[in-house]
């Protein structure tokens, strides 16, 4: 009798191990599969991008827009680009929707009509492992609406807020929360020169895109000029398609790590501009690429 009981326990243990192995090797975890189906139901049950997100298919690691860790089979990348039914109107996000994804590293929510986050339900409820967040082509409109979402993201390295109609200077508060941020895309917004004083706090920033804004270099940029060393790691800077003139070069010359600078489609003119920048810059190895516009 004792042998039979031991045999039964061993069989149960074996089945448990096999079930766990099967769940991890065949597809993502059950709680994450259910979480993905809930996202589909709340955003767009009829989405062509989610047509393989179906209940009878347990291998959700092979679903469109999903990437799982090869070892643990947990979702590490989730792309919901243009996934939401736009007829639903503006979307105030409750980020607890993504709580099942404990190992999530990359989240794409671009083009979904986002205007803000529910109170105390911003991205602070998510895993601290999130490194990449794409919120481009939404409807945040101003810094305050986006600040209600971006808290608790201590591991974030890349943030895309392009094409949101953003304006203001609220990023000064945000820099203290995103201390590891390396890539920031603010292109195709409505920022004026006040944005310069807001971004100096991002001490880990390596790439900054401010193209297609309303920058002139005439006001609000002095604080940026006085504190270039706070952006001492900045390597790539895109200021194209603004209204900047040649004086911007002397202001940027203190960025000692700069390797790529795009000033195309501005009002930067003159044959001696590049030489002037070389002479005033404090780079040990200068690998600056200037895309200068023709005189307008």
CATH class of 62-280: alpha beta
Q: Which two tokens stand for residue 152?
A: 């608790």
Find the range with the poorest average confidence among 70-84, 220-234, 249-263.
220-234
Find the range with the poorest average confidence among 13-27, 64-78, 126-140, 149-163.
13-27
Residue 18, number of CB atoms within 10 A of its CB: 10
First to last CA, the chain: 95
Distance CA 123, CA 275 (A): 46
The pTM of this model reads: 0.84
According to the model, what pLDDT value does residue 7 have?
A: 55
Distance CA 149, CA 107 (A): 14
Distance CA 62, CA 3 (A): 43
pLDDT digit string, tens, across residues 107-139: 999 999 999 888 878 888 776 799 999 999 999
Q: Where are the domains of the chain?
A: 62-280
Which DSSP string do the residues of 31-87 spell out, in sequence order? HHHHHHHHHHHHH-TT-GGGTT--TT---GGGSTTEEE-TTT--EEEEE-TT-S-GG
CA–centroid distance for 271 within its chain? 38
User: Higher-confidence residue: 199 or 173?
Assistant: 199
Which of 174, 258, 261, 247 lies closest to 210 in space, CA to CA? 261
Which of 176, 231, 179, 174 lies closest to 208 in space, CA to CA? 231
Distance CA 242, CA 81 (A): 28
Are 209 and 188 spatial neighbours (Cβ–Cβ below 8 Å)?
A: no
Average of pLDDT values for 239-265?
A: 87
Q: Which two tokens stand for residue 88?
A: 């639903």
* Residues 6+ away with beta carbon under 8 Å from 250: 276, 277, 280
According to the model, what pLDDT value does residue 189 have?
A: 95
């Amino acid at each position: 009798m004792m042998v039979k009981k031991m045999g039964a326990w061993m069989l149960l243990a074996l089945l448990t191990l096999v079930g766990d192995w099967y769940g991890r090797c065949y597809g993502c975890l059950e709680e994450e599969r259910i979480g993905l189906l809930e996202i589909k139901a709340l955003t767009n049950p009829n989405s062509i991008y989610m047509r393989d997100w179906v209940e009878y298919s347990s291998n959700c690691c092979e679903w469109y827009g999903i990437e799982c860790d090869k070892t643990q089979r947990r979702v590490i990348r989730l792309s919901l680009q243009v996934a939401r039914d736009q007829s639903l109107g503006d979307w105030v996000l409750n980020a607890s929707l993504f709580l099942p994804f404990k190992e999530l590293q990359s989240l794409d929510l671009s083009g979904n009509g986002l205007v803000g986050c529910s109170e105390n339900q911003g991205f602070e409820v998510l895993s601290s492992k999130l490194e990449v967040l794409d919120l481009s082509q939404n409807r945040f409109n101003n810094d305050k609406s986006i600040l209600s979402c971006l808290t608790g993201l201590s591991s974030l390295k890349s943030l895309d807020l392009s094409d949101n109609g953003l304006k203001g200077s609220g990023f000064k508060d945000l820099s203290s929360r995103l201390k590891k941020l390396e890539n920031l895309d603010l292109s195709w917004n409505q920022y004026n020169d006040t944005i310069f004083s807001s971004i100096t706090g991002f001490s880990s920033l390596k790439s900054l895109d401010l193209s297609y804004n309303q920058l002139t270099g005439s006001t609000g940029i002095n604080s940026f000029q006085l504190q270039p060393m706070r952006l001492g790691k900045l390597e790539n800077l895109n200021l194209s398609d603004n209204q900047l003139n040649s004086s911007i070069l002397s202001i940027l010359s203190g960025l000692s790590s700069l390797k790529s600078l795009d000033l195309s489609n501005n009002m930067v003119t003159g044959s001696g501009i590049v030489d002037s920048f070389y002479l005033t810059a404090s780079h040990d190895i200068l690998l600056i690429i200037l895309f200068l516009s023709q005189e307008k």
